[in-house]
Amino acid sequence: MLQLVYISSATARETQGLDQILATSRRNNARDRVTGLLFADGVRFLQALEGEAAAVEAAFERIREDPRHRAVVVLSRREIATREFGPWDMAARTADADGDAFVAQVERLVAGASPAVRGTFAGLATVRRAA
């Protein structure tokens, strides 16, 4: 199985766009048995995708061409024996969300991930809280 983690910058800040991304992602990922986590704070996206290598690569090919974000940078790409994120889920922070609650939510979602991946997600959530 392949786990791919990337970070990117959002090109639009409206949350309506996020709803559409989520609806499409849930549908496609269920079909392709891709799971993982999407972190969105209105500025950046951080996403982990897990599944059969071909399915993850195909999803990522579509995602990286998506004009709703830019500067897509792969942070890690590695073989995993079992899924580290469990079912596909999503941590989103709205403008008025409580920063501490958001950090706690992200930490819960990444609890099963490797230390490096966990640190990446937790670090970004904490930075955004401070910003």
Ligand X SMILES: Cc1cc2nc3c(=O)[nH]c(=O)nc-3n(C[C@H](O)[C@H](O)[C@H](O)COP(=O)(O)O)c2cc1C
Contact positions vs ligand X (CB under 6 A): 21, 24-25, 28-29, 38, 45, 47, 59, 62-63, 66, 68-69
**Which residue, judged by CB position, is nearest to ligand X in the bound state?**
28
Nearer to ligand X, 24 or 94 (CB): 24
CB of 24 to ligand X, least distance (A): 5
Nearer to ligand X, 12 or 111 (CB): 12
Burial of 120 (0-12, 13-18, 19+ CB in 10 A): buried
CB of 45 to ligand X, least distance (A): 4
CB of 85 to ligand X, least distance (A): 12
CB of 30 to ligand X, least distance (A): 10
